[in-house]
Chain A
Amino acid sequence: MNISYILEAQNIKKSFDGVVALSDASFTLNEGEICGLVGANGSGKTTFARIISGLIKPDAGQLYLYGSEINLKSHLDAEKLNISMVHQNLSLIPEMTVWENINLGREKATSWGILKKEEAIIRAEEAIRELQVNISLYEKVSQLAPSEKQLLEIVKALSRHPKILILDEPTASLGFKQVEILFEKLNQLKQNQVSVIFISHRIWEITRICDRLVAFRNGKTVGEIDFRIQPRDERLIVPLITGKKENGEEKSIHEKRPIQSFETSDVILEVENLTKKDKLHHISFKVRKGEIVGLGGLNGQGQEEILFILAGYLRKTSGKIKIDGQEVTIKHPSHTIERGVFLVPGDRQKEGLFLNHSVFTNLIYPWVAMKKQKFILPLNKLREEANQSIHTISLVPPDLNKLVSHLSGGNQQKVVVGKWLSLSPKILLLNDPTKGVDVETRRNLYHIITDLTANGVAVLLYASDNEELIANCDRVLIVFEGQIVDEICGDGICEENLVACSLRVQ
């Protein structure tokens, strides 16, 4: 414990339903300093921020404020200690107006409880003017653009005049100019001895604005860089995030897919200028038979939207999609399923399976739904086919009558893949297929997929874990803010390259 720190966190632990989010996080913050907090997706940054702001309670560990231990029971406690947070999933109420949102939770009222409306509006006006935002006070939040909502969220946190301000990816939806204004404001706060914790995936922002940075990896604090002593070099930060030392120890659990050339194979999927309003901009790419193409980049840059549009869940605004050289209009999932394009969803329990039904029911369902059927199902024939499918996917245990909810997560995912096999897929769209699946089944699953590609099936894979892209893809397209910004092939697919491209480090 050191008195000179304004905030100190020691050995914070937190897990949600057995999933460890923070295993050993420690953190210090000086007065009047901007400290960056970096880490890959799921490294525990947001969980940590939520603990400091009192929204969730840690399982273990100590928090010190000005050297004395504090115990935050609720968000109100943190607010009383002048800790304010700019939330990532916004804390605004869409159906309420801007001024109501800015004042929410600390409205002034008379002794009768009557809201002092004029005062509240004046306060909101002052808060908005301070950040040079151009929003009407009487507009409903649901009518605002994403960047305006983000700014409003910042305005709201600032209007509480915090001593410690936590910003959780505040710049994700801001434009260049707005980021400049924010940075100017943050520097001004720093002059006034306010301490700022700045969480961002954009490394260039960290190096520009922060005095120091702390890196998290897998729920642990793994290092810090003090820019007042060390150079502001982006290359120093990436290895902290990825966990790879310069000597390049390989910790991959996957055997890498051999490099092949697909130049001569037929193009099976061609996407031209695919655009979805506010989400995707002019996406163009080709996938050839037998090829596994990865969609890389940070989470939520539009990868899922690409898959959803191809699967018919979402509608595109403009652009062309060609399957087998033929342009197709996709208005409903059945349109792509008919053409042999199948989606393996990320949330298998919600989107991919009927949990309370048997493996058999789940396996035959697409078949029953899609093929022209006789009124009475040929159950014996279907059973035979289903038996073949579970053999191909090597389901454990190979029992058709078992309820899907009784299977392990990995085997559930095998069923999701397996249900498409009887329909002879041409293109598989995999949306983060190994979320919460153990290493062994993970390898198994990719074996099945590799076997399929040997038979000419093309795969479009989005994985939040870079290692999966590295091990399995022939090509990786890096998606950033709804655009394909890079393409990495063959040997170039490695952690450093992926992270550097995702973060747009040159």
Chain B
Amino acid sequence: MKNGFQFKNFYQNPSFPSFLILLAIIILNAFLQPNFFTYRAFKSNLLTFTPLILTSIAQGLIILVGCVDLSLGATISLITVLMASLMGDSVMSMLLVVLCGSGLALLMSLVNGFIISYFGPPPLLTTYATSVLWFGIALFFMPTPGGYIPSAFSKMYRSELFLRFPVALIFLVGAFLLLYFISKLKFYKHIYAVGGNEDATYANGVNVFTTKIKVFLLSGLFVALAAVCVVAQTATGDARSGLGYSLNSVAASIIGGLSFSGGKGSIAGPIMGGLILGLLINVLYFANITSFYQEFMKGIIIIFSLAIGAIPKYLKTRSL
């Protein structure tokens, strides 16, 4: 049985380039950010990165099944607006509102998933359309940032449990455990099958429709988690708060080694990709690059990361 660890399998893994990039950027960070390895820096980084990592997982699942969701950001926005409009001071109301927001996220994912898998329009355009729709609804209810988030809610997110275990980390660890559980499921194999070749999967008797719907619902769950983090961190409802997340999460997934056509790569990839993007912004900040150039540099580094990931594929197809 050759089931054990093999170095060849390791470096041929589509996530391998992103692993190298991640190492490089951590080293860079360690040099630039003072006290990078202290608890304080770790926690502040953690608070900033968590929403993007969670959204990247949501996006990664959808990309694995061969679709893409550009409405994830608008979903986050709309949920922050909902939560900031409804939340009261009591614990009960906080809990209810979080549940409400999560329910809305699931519903929105379901709408996307149903349209895409039942009628079959291109996911890119479908979710672009729904993202405009969600954004419009959010703007309608809250044209300017506002609403009320009790400070207790924000504090809870920033607080620590026993042994100084940050609450934000619970979100991440919870998400990872959930992913680990999913990766053991029979359904997980079907995600890759549908993403790899839909017709062939159908010919094997797998229900393609329900597989896609389940993936969208699952991604809705991760987006809901991300939205809760965003609300807790910004303490406002903002129709624009989620805008960057859609394309950043796509970039994170592709940097993490997923194939845009689906069915290829590991779900650990988007997690690393999300981390890379987060650390990237850190590096630019601590390298004292003026904010005017930050976006410019960010663009260059993202292109660079994408190119590194694409090299093996390029070498393969060139021999045509």
Contact = CB atoms under 8 A, between A and B. Distances in A.
Interface string A95-124: 110001001111111001111000000000
A55 B3 CA distance: 35
A96 B193 contact: yes
Given A93-B192, A93-B263, A113-B185, A106 B320 contact: no
A136 B203 CA distance: 24
B116 to A, nearest CB: 20
Interface in B234-279: 263-264
Nearest to A156: B204
Contacts of A113: 185-187
A55 B203 contact: yes
Interface string B64-77: 00000000000000
A104 B201 contact: yes
A96 B189 contact: yes
A75 interface: yes
Contacts of B189: 96, 100, 103-104, 107, 115
Contacts of A214: none
B159 to A, nearest CB: 33
B185 A87 contact: no
B192 A87 contact: no
Interface string A33-72: 0000000000000000000000100000000000000000
B188 interface: yes
Contacts of A109: 185-186
Interface string B170-202: 000000000000001111111011001101111
Nearest to A79: B205
A91 B204 CA distance: 7
A113 B263 CA distance: 20
A158 interface: no
Given A93-B193, A96-B196, A100-B189, A138 B3 contact: yes
Contact of A94 (B197, B206, B320): B197
B205 A76 contact: yes
Nearest to B202: A75
A114 B188 CA distance: 9
Interface in A164-212: none
A1 interface: no
Nearest to B205: A105
Contact of A92 (B185, B200, B320): B200
Given A76-B205, A104-B206, A105-B206, A95 B186 contact: no
A314 interface: yes
Contacts of B40: none
Nearest to A277: B319
A115 B192 contact: no
Q: Most chain-A Cβ atoms within 10 A of its Cβ — which of B188, B193, B197, B204?
A: B204
A138 B2 contact: yes
A90 interface: yes
Interface residues of B, number: 24
A335 interface: no
Contacts of B204: 75, 91, 104-105
A315 interface: yes
A469 to B, nearest CB: 29
A115 B193 contact: no
A115 B185 contact: yes
A315 B188 contact: no
A128 B8 CA distance: 25
A94 B199 CA distance: 13
A315 B193 CA distance: 32
B196 A95 contact: yes
B141 to A, nearest CB: 38
Contacts of B196: 93-96
Given A104-B189, A314-B320, A315-B320, A91 B184 contact: no
B192 A95 contact: yes
Given A107-B186, A115-B185, A136 B193 contact: no
B185 to A, nearest CB: 5
B185 A114 contact: yes
A106 B190 CA distance: 11
B184 A114 contact: yes
A315 B189 CA distance: 37
Given A95-B264, A104-B193, A87 B186 contact: no
A55 B203 CA distance: 7
B3 A115 contact: no
Nearest to B187: A113
A55 B199 CA distance: 10
Nearest to B194: A93
Given A79-B205, A96-B192, A138-B2, A91 B185 contact: no
A169 B121 CA distance: 34
Contacts of A79: 205
Interface in B15-29: none
A104 B196 CA distance: 12
Contacts of A74: 205
Contacts of B201: 93, 104-105
Contacts of B320: 314-315
A159 B3 CA distance: 23
A91 B188 contact: no
A85 B203 CA distance: 9
Nearest to B184: A114
A91 B2 contact: no
A93 B259 CA distance: 15
A87 B204 CA distance: 11
B203 A91 contact: yes
Nearest to B265: A95
Contacts of B203: 55, 75, 85, 87, 91
Contacts of A87: 200, 203
Contacts of A108: 186
B176 to A, nearest CB: 17
20 contacts: A75-B202, A75-B203, A75-B205, A87-B200, A87-B203, A90-B200, A91-B200, A92-B197, A93-B201, A94-B197, A96-B192, A96-B193, A100-B192, A104-B201, A105-B201, A105-B205, A113-B185, A114-B184, A115-B184, A115-B189
Given A91-B203, A104-B204, A138-B2, 19 more contacts: A55-B202, A74-B205, A75-B202, A87-B203, A92-B197, A93-B197, A93-B200, A95-B264, A96-B192, A96-B263, A100-B189, A103-B189, A108-B186, A112-B185, A114-B185, A115-B188, A138-B3, A314-B320, A315-B320
9 closest Cβ pairs, A-B complex: A105-B204, A93-B196, A105-B205, A109-B186, A91-B203, A91-B200, A115-B186, A107-B186, A104-B204
